[in-house]
Amino acid sequence: MRDNAPNSWETRADSFSLYGFTDLPSVRRRGAVVLTHGEGPYVVDVHGKRYLDANSGLWNMVAGFDHPGLAAAAKAQYDRLPGYHAFFGRLSDQTVMLSEKLVEVSPFPRGKVFYTNSGSEANDTMVKILWFLGWAEGHPERRKVLTRVNAYHGVTAVSASMTGKPYNRVFGLPLPGFIHLTCPHYWREGQEGESEEAFTQRLARELEATIIKEGPDTIAGFFAEPVMGAGGVIPPSAGYFQAIQQVLRRYGIPLVADEVICGFGRTGNVWGCQTYDFVPDAIISSKNLTAGYFPMGAIILGPELADRVDAAAEKFDEFPHGFTASGHPVGCAIALKAIDVVMNEGLIDNVRRLTPAFEAGLARLAEHPNIGEWRGKGFMGALEMVKDKATKTSFDPKVAISERIANRCIDEGLICRPLGQGIVLCPPFIITEAHLDEIFAKLERAMTDVFAEVG
């Protein structure tokens, strides 16, 4: 609980910090959690309390908080070349090597990579690439972007317009031309008596009807997370990507896989698109790309889009876009090491090995009468709280059910994430069975206490 002394960490945090995506009544009452260091999957606060971080920081600290190899890669590169850009045909050797590696581990036979500082910027940049192609290829009207309700693609003005969340209305978003289709959440969006296959086909028909209504020549692309992350860990309905990709190909509309969360192991494969057996036209990467040790995003263009962008840039003499820290040599060195750690130090293998135990823990907690469903894929899972299980009736938002459970977990020394009426777990890839036992024991105690309080 918070220390209200004038010089306490909690008071200092409140006095000088503008919190993002934070339940302010809760943090004002309880105080911020100010951290000093990490130990494996644990973080430690200024009071010496340890927390098992079942949220991997923000989905991204998959190798834990003190991996010596990642820290060493950063230190070594700071000694060699501590910073540079990727403008004017000048870029670091680490940037070149990372681009080669990203294409190598992608599902594409060849391609090209463009770097940003975050997943938001990467999605924003991908939209600009599609708009650039429309201009260069004589279709300047090709500007509309299709995503889904509940999708999360970032917080810049463009990527927030892609994000299908109601809170963006406070910014006057989405911008014109950003269209949100039905969320592929069968449990919540399926109609009475509708099979999962029929639900998938209905969403494919909705996509085609939208394309026809808007005009195929006005649509720049379709963006989708393989598993919706910040929407509450929502896997697609069965056959979803095969059904929508068939429609998109019919009208020549690129499919962009937003792999910011899913990429590099979260679903049990290198890419979420591999988990769901489809090959997109481009991939957006961030978070696990550097295992959270450096802010970086990347767009990996498949061969067709890479060739088209090359031709468009040739027409204009350049691609007029970039960031000062794009392809930062230290970030690229860390990313190269992070990819090696995830793929060759047993981290993906550990995700695959422990996924059955992770899912079993979620399924056991979902037996509670106030849990409507558990869902997930690989090392991402969610429990959806309901007031009435039979009718799927949610709690009154004023109850703040997920925030209360997450706060009780903090008291227990566990960090998990409240999202809407759900609790999300996305543990680091280094956890053990003992860590899973700790996660579920602490979460169960927190749930039991809170559900007893709210009746």
Which strands form 282-285's sheet, in the order they lie side by side? 112-116, 297-301, 282-285, 255-258, 219-224, 144-148, 178-181
- Please compute the mean of the pLDDT values over residues 282-290 and round it to a whole number: 98
- Please compute the mean of the pLDDT values over residues 14-34 and round it to a whole number: 92
Which residues share a beta bridge with 388? Answer: 393
For 73, the token pair is 């890669």
Query: Is the pLDDT at 137 greater than 80, yes or no?
Result: yes
pLDDT in tens, 158-211: 999 999 999 999 999 999 999 999 999 999 999 999 999 999 999 999 999 999
CA-nearest of 381, 338, 384, 337 to 359 is: 381
Q: Which residue type is seen at 40?
A: G
**Distances from the Cα of 119 to the Cα of 28, 309, 341, 351, angstroms:** 29, 20, 21, 23
Residue with tokens 């934070």: 22
Q: Is 410 exposed, middle or buried (0-12, 13-18, 19+ CB in 10 A)?
A: buried
pLDDT in tens, 255-276: 999 999 999 999 999 999 999 9
Query: Is the pLDDT at 155 greater than 90, yes or no?
Result: yes
Helix, strand or coil, per DSSP, at residue 230: coil
Query: Is the pLDDT at 412 greater than 70, yes or no?
Result: yes
CB atoms within 10 A of CB 76: 12
Domains of the chain, residue spans = 33-63+346-454, 70-344
Query: Is the pLDDT at 1 greater than 70, yes or no?
Result: no
Reported pTM: 0.96
Query: Is the pLDDT at 301 greater than 80, yes or no?
Result: yes
Residue 455 is predicted with a pLDDT of 73
- What's the pLDDT band for 5 if we cut at 50, 70, 90? confident
Whether the Cβ atoms of residue 323 and residue 340 lie closer than 8 Å to each other:
no
* Eight-state DSSP code of residue 108: S
Task: List the CATH code of the domain at 70-344.
Answer: 3.40.640.10
Which strands form 422-425's sheet, in the order they lie side by side? 371-377, 380-385, 422-425, 417-419
pLDDT in tens, 304-356: 999 999 999 999 999 999 999 999 999 999 999 999 999 999 999 999 999 99
- Angle in degrees, 0-180, between the axes of helices 401-412 and 433-454, rounded to the nearest 10: 130
Query: Is the pLDDT at 3 greater than 90, yes or no?
Result: no
Residue 161 is predicted with a pLDDT of 98
- Please compute the mean of the pLDDT values over residues 429-443 and round it to a whole number: 98
Homologous superfamily in CATH for domain 33-63+346-454: Aspartate Aminotransferase, domain 1 (3.90.1150.10)
CA-nearest of 225, 311, 323 to 266 is: 225
Element (H, E) at 238: none
How far is Cα 326 from Cα 266, in angstroms, rounded to an integer? 25
Same fold flag, 33-63+346-454 and 70-344: no
**Degrees (nearest 5) of the Cα angle 156, 130, 229?**
45
Residue 4 is predicted with a pLDDT of 78
Query: Is the pLDDT at 2 greater than 90, yes or no?
Result: no
Q: Please report, rounded to a whole number, the percentage of residues in the chain having pLDDT higher than 90.
A: 97
- What's the pLDDT band for 366 if we cut at 50, 70, 90? very high
- What's the pLDDT band for 147 if we cut at 50, 70, 90? very high
- Please compute the mean of the pLDDT values over residues 409-435 and round it to a whole number: 97
CB atoms within 10 A of CB 22: 12
* Eight-state DSSP code of residue 109: S
pLDDT, mean over the chain: 97
Q: Are strands 112-116 and 297-301 parallel, antiparallel or unpaired?
A: antiparallel
